[in-house]
Amino acid sequence: MTITIKSAADDLEGMRVAGRLASEVLDMLTPHVKPGVTTEQLDKLAHDHIVNVQGAVPAPLNYAPPGYTPYPKSICTSINHQVCHGIPNDRPLKNGDIVNIDVTVIKDGWHGDTSRMFVVGEGSIAAKRLCALTYEAMWKGIVKVKPGARLGDIGHSIQTFAESQGFSIVREFCGHGIGRKFHEEPQVLHYGRPGTLEELVPGMTFTIEPMVNAGRREIREMGDGWTIVTKDRSLSAQWEHTVLVTDTGYEVLTLSAGSPPPPAFVGV
């Protein structure tokens, strides 16, 4: 396994800029996520902002890993029981829907990758609880990041917290290294045992992006070849940040003016 280390000042600054831009796309979209809007409209807003305002490139557009058809849109929008990789379409969002919007931009060759959950209109107590606790689960993983820790520490912290709330963790998809490539080593599992897997060293950059289901963890792929849904049609939520391992701990690279504040348990 070859993990790229970003230690040069220019590398780190490039990652910070790309990360901030990705988060600012979500800031821009936030007031538009309401009943009646289509995810197709959100995709166009995001695409135009990334290309025309930020002078960047939407990484998902035409992205085609081995065995996949090219992804046809500029963002991913996963609604209700959709776990990830939902393709924007002309279906209007309804009051009570929950939707994950996943944004990855390429700026000057560097990738920034982040996603947030949105509750459309008035969500149910159960839906809002799932979104809030999935956000906490992501941060339970982030605060484990420091030199000398291991990837298993991150996964274990996320898994034990989510399962203690009665939820389940999707295992088939995980976080990933990121930099000049969209997906690099290492894989960042959201479950596992502490003290296992790769040791973290300063300069590593990767995403932490747990997918948490209200019901069982089993998933299936839809006929479009991209959209993943829960087998039992239970709600699913996901949050994502891109993180840098620093000399003393971590730096979240995908923060902007509109980012939700960290949970209370996160030290300032």
Q: Per the domain annotation, does 1 fall within a domain?
A: no
Whole-number Å distance between alpha carbons of 55 and 147: 34
- Would 264 be classed as within a structural domain? no
Q: Which domain holds residue 193?
A: 9-252
**Structure tokens belonging to residue 261:** 């504040």
CB crowding 14-41: b at 16 or more within 10 Å, else e? bbbbbbbbbbbbbebbeeebeeebebbe
Rg (CA), the chain: 17
- The whole-number pLDDT of residue 7 equals 86
CA 178/CA 205 separation, integer angstroms: 6
Cα–Cα distance list, 40 to 36, 91, 127, 222 (Å): 12, 8, 23, 18
Query: At 124, which amino acid appears?
Result: S
State the amino acid at position 74 in one-letter form: S
If you write DSSP's letter for every residue of 73-141 in order, what string do you get? SSSEEEETTEEE-PPP-SPBP-TT-EEEEEEEEEETTEEEEEEEEEE-SS--HHHHHHHHHHHHHHHHH
Q: Per-block average pLDDT, block size 10, for the chain (268 residues)?
A: 89 97 98 98 98 98 94 98 98 98 98 98 96 98 98 98 98 97 97 97 98 98 96 98 97 98 88
Q: Which two tokens stand for residue 103?
A: 């944004």
CA 10 to chain centre: 24
The DSSP secondary-structure symbol of 236 reads E
Query: What residue type is 209 in one-letter code?
Result: E
Q: What pLDDT score does 258 carry? A: 97
Question: Is 174 a domain residue?
Answer: yes
Q: Residue 36 in 3-state DSSP?
A: coil
- Most distant CA pair in the chain: distance in Å? 48
Q: Would you say residue 216 lies in a domain?
A: yes
The pLDDT score that the predictor gives to residue 55 is 98
What are the distances in angstroms from CA 99 to CA 84, 121, 152, 165, 219? 10, 11, 28, 21, 17
Q: Are 89 and 45 in contact (CB under 8 A)?
A: no
Q: Does some domain include residue 266?
A: no
Q: Could you give the strand order of the β-sheet that contains 168-169, starting from the edge strand earlier in sequence?
A: 168-169, 211-213, 236-238
Domain count, the chain: 1
pLDDT at 267: 76
In a domain, residue 97? The reply is yes
The CATH number for 55's domain is 3.90.230.10
Give me 54's structure tokens.
């930020």
What pairs with residue 199 in β-bridges?
150
Spatial separation of the C-alpha atoms in residues 189 and 65, rounded to whole Å:
19
Asked if residues 242 and 206 have their Cβ atoms less than 8 Å apart, the reply is yes
Q: Is residue 196 part of a domain?
A: yes
Note if the pTM is more than 0.95: yes
Q: Considering the domain boundaries, does residue 258 fall inside one?
A: no
